[in-house]
Amino acid sequence: MTATEAAWVGAMIEGEGGVYCYKKHGAQPSVQVCNTEVETIATILRLVGDGNVSVQKKVRPYKDLWQWSLSAVNSVADLLPQVTPYLTGKRERAEYVLTTKMGRTQRKA
């Protein structure tokens, strides 16, 4: 992923998604983005090259809600170092997941 693509994916995580660590799954790290535009979710899937896409069908006048999620530990460990430099409000959580849950050190951008 190029730096521009990583910045875009990071912006989508920042604005439309999040970085999570679910305790009920043994502190399983996860990255998710939700959006009503399927093209946005398809672009994230293409750029990251991994993850799952699901949809919550809505009744009109509401739009369907598309969700991209990444929960494979190695995939999350590969993605977070690329996008964390572009996060602001969710940077601390991403760094926590990387260092505490995955034992990785964050490189400075």
pLDDT tens-digit map of 19-46? 998 776 567 899 999 999 999 999 999 9
Least trusted range by pLDDT, from 27-31, 45-49, 52-56, 66-70: 27-31
Domains of the chain: 3-101 (3.10.28.10)
- Tell me if 102 sits within 8 A of 29, measured CB to CB: yes
Judge whether residue 96 has pLDDT over 50.
yes
For residue 69, which phi and psi values (nearest 5 degrees)?
-140, 145
Q: What's the pLDDT score for residue 55?
A: 96
Average pLDDT of the chain? 90
Q: Which helix (H) or strand (E) holds 15?
A: helix 3-16
